[in-house]
Amino acid sequence: MMSEIPTVLFVCVHNAGRSQMAAGYLQALAGDRVRVLSAGSEPADKINPVALAAVAEEGIDITADTAKILTTEAVRESDVVIPMGCGDTCPIFPGKRYEDWDLDDPAGQSIESVRPIRDEIGRRIRALIGELQTA
């Protein structure tokens, strides 16, 4: 059962690209209607600069974000958990919605290669917002 303000957790290994872009998109588009978390099992030292640039082109600023370690508590407090197709394992709790987004990793890719990943994340975020509003 979803709480009044749903919490969405995006997970990838380094929490430096896909999960950060997705969190930034959801925060920018949903505002205070959704609580947004992101984490990784092996957080990077910094956010991927190409991911930062890609979402900045869409008017989304994630420069203040940092990579965070995935905790059982983060999963427990989330209504929706979205691993980003990187084979990361998340603790499984009954009553949570899990949705795997199988997306290419932007690590080491050019901005031209990351834009389609960003655009797919944006499309999925818009669909997710629609689903959360009707839940």
Task: Identify the structural domains of the chain with CATH numbers, from first to last.
Answer: 7-129 (3.40.50.2300)
Among candidate residues 86, 103, 114, 132, the one labeled active-site is 86
Structure pTM? 0.92
pLDDT in tens, the chain (135 residues): 455 899 999 999 899 999 999 999 999 999 999 999 999 988 999 999 999 999 999 999 999 999 999 999 999 999 999 998 766 566 777 888 999 998 999 999 999 999 999 999 999 999 999 999 876
Verify whether residue 27 is a known catalytic residue: no
Q: What is the pLDDT of residues 22-58, one digit of tens each?
A: 999 999 999 999 999 999 988 999 999 999 999 999 9
Among candidate residues 8, 12, 51, 74, the one labeled active-site is 12
What would the 3-class secondary structure string for the chain be?
Answer: CCCCCCEEEEECCCCCCHHHHHHHHHHHHHHHHCEEEEEECCCCCCCCHHHHHHHHCCCCCCCCCCCCECCHHHHHCCCEEEECCCCCCCCCCCCCEECCCCCCCCCCCCHHHHHHHHHHHHHHHHHHHHHHHHC
Verify whether residue 130 is a known catalytic residue: no
